Amino acid sequence: MLSIFETLKSIAFAVDEAIKTEDLGYASGRNATGDDQLKLDVRADGIVESILSQHPLVYSIISEEKEEELIVHPDGRYTVCYDPLDGSSIVEADLSVGTIFGIYEKGKLTGSGLRGSAYIVYGPRLELVAAVRGRAPRHYRSGSEGLFAVRRSLRLGEKGKLNAPGGTQKYWLPEHKAFVDSLFAEGYRLRYSGGMVPDLHQILVKAGGIFSYPGTSDKPEGKLRALFEVLPFALIYEAAGGEAVDQRGRRLLELVPSSLHATTPCFFGSSYEIGRFKEAYGVNDG
Ligand code: P6P
């Protein structure tokens, strides 16, 4: 599986170039979830597909931008689910965005079938974080030493200072608003850009805090897609010593998504903040 991570570096370089040069207008189509597609979404999806589909260990690839699974190597071992450019709509504001990968055992598209995950951050620097289940995430940073030359492990502390509350506040459930406000009353800092990858990356790099995208009255099952976005980050957060749960306090890595493009409420963070979430929602350990 580690050799699949190697291909992500060439994906990172190619998508980073596309972000800097592609037209930011809309393409003609919509993705599988019904979102309008930007030309950049289509371009990034094509780059990921063309590079990943060459790797012999990859049995199939499933893109957030497409409805169906694409079988690429019948003898392959893994299915890679990916979001080619998460947060693409904020590129127009020149904010950081990312690509997210989940590497699942062939035919096991569930939390327990996830073997490894990774994400790329297209920001002031090109960064990559990758984790094999149960081992600390590795953080690769680019700079004067070269592309992804600097490496370190990522570890979450018991408690942080950052609060990244997603979703439209008008549609939050009362218990969620009370929870978010209680953290701000404790002095937590608001850190939310609307880009899942940089928002979750910041909490990991700053070693603590919480990111939440709850079920809301307009989106009871949340907005973020389980296979492409939520489960890959759940593996990374648990591997960094944090927790990743749904709105009933259940581990997201025990989730069995109901469909390829199913969404789920999600809470990622250090253990103190997840404990506070469980108190506020009146849930125990799932
Ligand atoms: P909201 C981007 O569209 C995205 O899928 C994630 O990157 C981000 O965390 C979320 O949506 C933002 O959604 O409803 O808070 O604007």
Q: Are residues 147 and 223 in the same domain?
A: no
Q: How far is CA 102 from CA 30, 221, 232, in A?
A: 22, 20, 5
What is the Å distance from ligand 1's center to 87 Cα?
Answer: 6
Closest atom of ligand 1 relative to the 86 alpha carbon = 7
What is the CA(168)–ligand 1 centre distance, in A? 10
Record the tokens describing residue 11, joined without a space.
């994906």
**Ligand 1 mean position to 199 CA, how many Å?**
10
Same domain, 50 and 84: yes
Span 158-187, average pLDDT:
98
Mean pLDDT score of the chain, rounded to an integer? 95
Q: How far is the CA of 196 from the centre of ligand 1 (A)?
A: 6
Q: What is the pLDDT of residues 65-76, one digit of tens each?
A: 998 999 999 999
Residue nearest to atom 10 of ligand 1 (CA): 194
| Mean per-residue pLDDT, 105-116 | 97
For residues 148 and 45, state if they share a domain: yes
Residue 192 lies in a domain: yes
Residues 50 and 133 in one domain: yes
Atom of ligand 1 nearest to the CA of 195: 7
Looking at ligand 1, which atom is closest to the CA of residue 166?
15
Residues with CB under 6 A from ligand 1: 86-87, 89, 166-168, 194-196, 223
Rounded-to-integer distance, Cα 245 and Cα 266, Å: 6
Q: Are residues 173 and 248 in the same domain?
A: yes
Query: How do beta strands 209-213 and 162-165 pair?
Result: parallel
Count of structural domains, the chain: 2
For ligand 1, atom 9, name the residue with the nearest CA. Answer: 196
Q: Does residue 36 carry a pLDDT above 90? A: no
- Based on the domain organization, do 59 and 181 belong to the same domain? no
> 28 falls in which pLDDT band (50, 70, 90)?
confident
Q: What's the confidence (pLDDT) of residue 63? A: 96
| 86 plus 17 within the same structural domain | yes
Q: Long-range pairs for 181-190 at CB < 8 Å and ≥24 separation? A: 182/276, 182/280, 183/210, 183/273, 183/276, 187/161, 188/161, 188/162, 188/163, 189/161, 189/162, 189/163, 190/163, 190/164, 190/165
CA-proximal residue: ligand 1, atom 6 (nearest): 196
Q: Which atom of ligand 1 is the closest one to the Cα of 35?
A: 3
Given pLDDT bands bounded at 50, 70 and 90, which one contains residue 192? very high
The per-residue pLDDT for 284 is 79
**Same domain for 186 and 120:** no
Q: Is residue 286 part of a domain?
A: no
Does residue 73 sit in the same domain as residue 189?
Answer: no
Model pTM?
0.96
CA–centroid distance, 75 to ligand 1, in Å, is: 36
Residue nearest to atom 3 of ligand 1 (CA): 87
Cα–ligand 1 centroid distance for 176 (angstroms): 17
Q: Which tens digits make up the pLDDT trace of 127-151?
A: 999 999 989 999 999 888 888 988 8
User: Given this model, what pLDDT does residue 1 score?
Assistant: 83
The verdict on residue 45 lying in a domain is yes
Task: Look at residue 286 and tell me whether its pLDDT is greater than 60.
Answer: no
Atom of ligand 1 nearest to the CA of 83: 5
Q: Please tell me whether residues 37 and 137 are part of one structural domain.
A: yes
Position 63 in a domain: yes
Task: Specify the ligand 1 atom closest to the Cα of 98.
Answer: 7
Q: For residue 285, name the pLDDT band (cuts at 50, 70, 90).
A: low
Judged against a pLDDT cut of 80, whether residue 281 lies above it is answered with yes
What pLDDT digit, counting tens, does each position of 48-57 carry?
A: 999 999 999 9
CATH code for position 85: 3.30.540.10
Out of 33-47, 150-164, 234-248, least confident range: 33-47
Atom of ligand 1 nearest to the CA of 211: 9
- Structural domain harbouring 102: 2-153
Q: Give the closest residue to 178 by CA, choosing from 169, 168, 167.
A: 169
Largest CA distance in the chain: 54
Which residue's CA lies nearest to atom 14 of ligand 1? 167
Determine how many CB atoms are found less than 10 A away from the CB of residue 134: 10
Domain shared by 13 and 130, yes or no: yes
Contacts 24+ apart (CB under 8 A), 255-258: 255/110, 255/111, 255/226, 255/230, 255/231, 256/110, 256/111, 257/109, 257/110, 257/226, 257/227, 257/231
Are residues 6 and 145 located together in one domain of the fold? Answer: yes
β 126-132/114-122 pair status: antiparallel
Name the residue with the closest Cα to ligand 1, atom 4. 87
Position 156 pLDDT exceeds 60:
yes
* CA of 197 relative to ligand 1 center, distance in Å: 10
Last residue of a domain, one of 135, 153, 171: 153
